[in-house]
Homo-oligomer: A and B are copies of this chain.
Amino acid sequence: MIWEDDDSLLVANVIDGVLKLTTSTEDGREQIVGVAYPSDFIGRPFGQTSRATVVALTDARVCVFARNDFDRFAREHPELEHKLLERTLAELDRTRSWMMLLGRKTAPEKIATFLLDMSDRYGDVSACTTFRAPAKLFTLPFSRQQVADLLGLTIETVSRQFTKLKQDGVIGLPSRREVEILNRPALSALAG
């Protein structure tokens, strides 16, 4: 947990590492509302504010700007604004499909969707730059609790679903943070 910010005065670009964006209720329930990977943008430019909290999940390097400076710079560089708009629209789409997961999917479906998502995220770019082959084996940047906060479940349910998938031979769990996809079609079928 290297870097924290309540998003009021700063904006930043992620250079390296993974960060989570969370909101929580007074009584301590937490929901991860976004995950920032390298090259992702964090923060609310242009006078907007949000009640989200940013916390690094791994060692992370971020390029931080004072919001005022950034706003001025952005307004003078339409290409930057355009790029930011494209990224924000893409993020909005990802967020919306996550809403479907949170509102309508069952625990097994949530877990399967999550694992496929992670697998795609950590795929090799390999020879072909446009196509990214999904990873068969990868290391989660999340603890069980964080997976639960991402999927709107409890830690116990996450754990049970993981072991269920392991027992069924769909995935392997070499260590706590590592996941190996053994039967991708089965996982896709479960994802709903």
Q: Which residues of A contact B (CB under 8 A)?
A: 21, 23-27, 29-31, 33-34, 44-46, 48, 50-52, 75, 78, 81-82, 84-86, 88-93, 95-100, 102-105, 151-152, 192
Contacts and interface: CB of A to CB of B under 8 A. Distances in A.
Contacts of A192: 25-27
Given A25-B104, A151-B103, A96 B48 contact: no
A174 to B, nearest CB: 29
- Copies of the chain in the assembly: 2
Which of A27, A29, A46, A85 has the largest number of chain B CB atoms within 10 A? A85
Given A85-B81, A88-B85, A102-B102, A93 B48 contact: yes
B102 A152 contact: yes
A40 to B, nearest CB: 13
A96 B96 CA distance: 9
Contact of A98 (B34, B44, B99): B99
Nearest to A85: B85
Given A27-B192, A31-B104, A81-B82, A99 B95 contact: yes
Contact of A95 (B48, B75, B95): B95
